[in-house]
Amino acid sequence: METTLAPSKEKKELIRRIERSSGTEISRCYQCGKCSAGCPASSGMDYTPRQVIRLLQLEMVDEALRAGSIWLCATCEICTTRCPRGVDVASLMDALRREAWRRGMITDRRVAVFNDVFLKSVARFGRVFEAGLLLEYNLKTGQLFKDTELGLPMLQRGKMHPLPTIIRGHNAVRQICDRVQRMEAEERCE
């Protein structure tokens, strides 16, 4: 269930937690915009990376957690590389995603469905089974024929396999997934 934040103290604590989790200091940003200028996804974002940081500087953490931008971020790290102040913007986006997920503050349900289906596929097979992912995602989001015009040619040309393949180290991947789930459960109890 979605949680809303009480003013001030709770917001400050949450911002500190996001800073700790991302290993970066929000106050270091002097709003030059180099991160946004290099971001390949910023044209589709409701808030550019620079603006997301500004929201946090202004303690508008609800807005930052609800921003569609954090789910569009591809973690390409261009922003982090370009920042003259050493702000790890990509990690910050990642920390915001984790926090939004934890608090049920995901504005688009399809994001949650995709995340769930993708991770289950990786945990099961050791890598993502694309055809299965496509099918399950479409079924769960009620858009049965979405992207079939792309999926079918890919299957025909052997770019995507109709059956899953299990990688050799899938047990190790499974253990990693289990460990991450335990860590997340512990974090929720903090």
Q: Which residues contact 63 (CB under 8 A, 6 or more apart)?
A: 47, 55
Please say which residue, 94 or 130, places its beta carbon nearer to ligand SF4: 94
Q: Which residues contact 157 (CB under 8 A, 6 or more apart)?
A: none
**70 closest CA partner among 25, 115, 29, 34:** 115
In the DSSP assignment, the letter for residue 141 is: T
In whole angstroms, the minimum distance from the beta carbon of 17 to ligand SF4 comes to 19
Q: Which range binds ligand SF4 by CB under 6 A, 29-37, 55-63, 110-118, 179-187?
A: 29-37
Residue 87 and residue 25 in contact, taking contact as beta carbons nearer than 8 Å? yes
Tell which positions 36-95 bind ligand SF4, by CB under 6 A.
38-41, 49-50, 53, 73-79, 82-83, 85, 87, 89-90, 93
Please say which residue, 46 or 177, places its beta carbon nearer to ligand SF4: 46
* 177-3-178 Cα angle (round to 5): 10
Please say which residue, 64 or 79, places its beta carbon nearer to ligand SF4: 79
Query: Which residues contribute to the site for ligand SF4 (CB under 6 A)?
Result: 29-35, 38-41, 49-50, 53, 73-79, 82-83, 85, 87, 89-90, 93
